[in-house]
Chains A and B, each alone.
Chain A
Amino acid sequence: MSAVMITRKVRKWEKLPGKNTFCCDGRVMMARQKGVFYLTLFLIVGTCALFFAFECPYLAVHLSPAIPVFAALLFLFVMAMLLRTSFSDPGVLPRALPEEATFIEMEIEAANGNVPAGQRPPPRIRNVQINNQIVKLKYCYTCKIFRPPRASHCSICDNCVDRFDHHCPWVGNCVGKRNYRYFYLFTMSLSLLTIYIFTFDIVHVVMRSVDNGFLNTLKETPGTVLEVLVCFFTLWSVVGLTGFHTYLISLNQTTNEDIKGSWSGKNRVQNPYSHKNIIKNCCEVLCGPAYPSVLDRRGVMQEDSPVSATSAAPYSTSSSSSNPVPQTTKTTAPLIPNEHTPDDAKPSIAASAEKSPSPKEEHPPAPKVPPLASPETDAEASLTKDKTH
């Protein structure tokens, strides 16, 4: 009797480096820390549930049945945008395979020439000219690529993200090229929903108080108090955030660039990506093409590694040539350890502290996301989720 090996189909998302969690067999992609995202969901769903339970019956009868209908549509739109932002790939750039990494290293060495022993090699920077401005492309030691313009490395998710805006713990994901418009529509529709609920709460309380008196009204519909509180705090933060992002879009800037002051100041380069026209900038960001994900999450892993192991590759001089594992992570310590981490950690954490789309409760929305906390690996989490599905 021969032993039959049943090999499970391994999908590529299971082997992706980086600190993301995947659900639904690779269809859903999020950051590891999801606690604040659940809070966002709870607040939105909870407040709307209270609105539909307490206010809507009265308003539908006394004012118009269109009020709950419109509220429901708005709520569904907000949820759709939130889930779309949270679950989609923000525009993660896959890490360089060993051959590409080696090719780039050789180019860098050729460009730098001979560095005397004991001296630090010059920082790895490539200058490109974009629309007659010189833009510096930095080298990412983790991903082993020169980051495209506007890309940045998120230290929380440990990925380079194209057109990186910020890492938002409230949606539990990075905001980048692919999901920025959904994020913006989420904040805008949430602002509208908050204003809507707040307004009709006040209308409802006033109308009911005329008949029954203020205190009796509050006794009959205790949910109103909670809703008004939540909406009041949400209004300030979410409406402010929407305004801020509207400003950024009109200038075709990202939060990351704004925080770093990349395009501000007289001595600095002017923004080469702006069309110098507000309408054009808005159209490009909001009505541009829907970019595809370049991470093939649901593709099936080949049996053997993608790097051809049969041939002796004469050009690869790195130590990994004998064991061509495609996505080795964290094998080499960066030569200049803090070259990219402080830059990227600060904006993501600062941004999450400043710009919180959900209501500010009594406690400040502290960014309680330790970047390196990894209680479980992606593979373990995905296998667990596989079983539950």
Chain B
Amino acid sequence: MGTEMGQKRHSASLANKVFIQRDYSEGTTCKFQTKFPSELESRIERTLFEDTVKTLNNYYAEAEKIGGQSYLEGCLACATAYLIFLCVETRYEKVLKKIAKYIQEQNEKIYAPRGLLITDPIERGMRVIEISIYEDRGSSGSSSGSSSVSGSTAR
């Protein structure tokens, strides 16, 4: 996944990283704080950022939902001594794939043109959403910098 970069791009350099922490107000379910960090104030609109985090929170809530489907999955798996997980993907894994796709999409469309990059929380142990802030180096201008940035995420 094109989430780690910066080593090969010469026109943009990593300036800072912001870490969006977990929101534990509703328990141990995976949810991130929607508080807008001050470092991003000049880089991206508040609503876009909040939308991204809220969508991610919804995805995680869907993955961790305890209801009819999770009971069915649990009971079926137990009946097969959980051997079925060797062949079939769990619901959580399916949602994680959707999340990875969503993050890549967001990076390409919204964050990379603004010189930002979101790292999938699963790569940080689901503890934080890491947002890397890049500064354009040199006089090549933001257009070439952003195109090279978005090009790398499309890998």
Residues of A within 8 A of B (CB): 76-77, 80-81, 84, 93-94, 96-97, 99-100, 103-104, 128-131, 135, 137, 145, 148-150, 162-163, 182, 185, 272-273, 283-284, 286-292, 294-296, 302, 304, 306, 308-315
Contact = CB atoms under 8 A, between A and B. Distances in A.
B74 A128 contact: no
B82 A310 contact: no
Given A81-B81, A149-B24, A163-B28, A315 B66 contact: no
B81 A150 contact: no
A99 B17 CA distance: 8
B24 A292 contact: no
Contact of B90 (A77, A145, A290, A313): A290
A100 B92 contact: no
A244 to B, nearest CB: 21
Contact of A135 (B18, B24, B82): B24
Q: Which of A81, A103, A104 has the most CB of B within 10 A?
A: A103
Given A100-B124, A148-B24, A289-B91, 4 more contacts: A76-B81, A93-B127, A100-B127, A287-B70
A182 to B, nearest CB: 7
18 contacts: A76-B81, A99-B17, A100-B19, A100-B130, A129-B24, A137-B24, A148-B127, A185-B78, A287-B66, A287-B71, A287-B74, A294-B122, A304-B7, A310-B7, A311-B14, A311-B15, A312-B13, A313-B14
Interface residues of B, number: 44
Interface in B28-69: 28, 63-66
B25 interface: yes
B125 A94 contact: yes
A137 B93 CA distance: 28
